[in-house]
């Protein structure tokens, strides 16, 4: 069953200054993850929060990525890291045009 992985964190100053080219390199790497479907990159400059909302094929592949990502964020200065995996309620999501494929 498809799941949503939501990751939020407070970025370090260095993380706030990551060049676009480096983000694109990371984006290409993410597309190669097992079970990965898509990611929306999120940023709230006023609240100093960043993160991502991902769709994975199942909770195992989402957890595997979260287990790799969390230490990376911590090592590069990320704080207040929140990782949550949600089941997708597919019937109403399909009605509201969620991209579940």
Assess whether pLDDT exceeds 90 at residue 101. Answer: no
Q: How far apart are CA 76 and CA 72, in angstroms?
A: 6
Cβ pair 38, 101 in contact under 8 A: no
Classify the phi-psi angles of 77: left when phi > 0, otherwise alpha if psi is within -120 to 50, otherwise beta: left
Q: What is the pLDDT of residues 24-56, one digit of tens each?
A: 999 999 999 999 999 999 999 999 999 999 999
pTM reported for the whole predicted model: 0.92
Side by side, which strands form the sheet with 79-87? Answer: 36-44, 49-56, 3-10, 79-87
Separation in Å, CA 95 to CA 50, 76, 92: 29, 40, 5
């Amino acid at each position: 069953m498809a799941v949503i992985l939501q990751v939020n964190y407070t970025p370090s100053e260095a993380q706030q200054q990551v060049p676009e080219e480096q983000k694109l390199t990371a984006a290409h790497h993410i597309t190669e993850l097992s079970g990965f479907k898509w990611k929306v990159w999120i940023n709230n400059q006023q609240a100093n929060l960043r993160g991502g909302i991902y769709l994975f094929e199942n909770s195992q592949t989402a957890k595997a990525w979260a287990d790799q990502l969390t230490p990376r964020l911590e090592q590069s200065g990320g704080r207040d890291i929140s990782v949550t995996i949600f089941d997708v309620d597919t019937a109403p999501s399909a009605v509201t045009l969620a991209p579940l494929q």
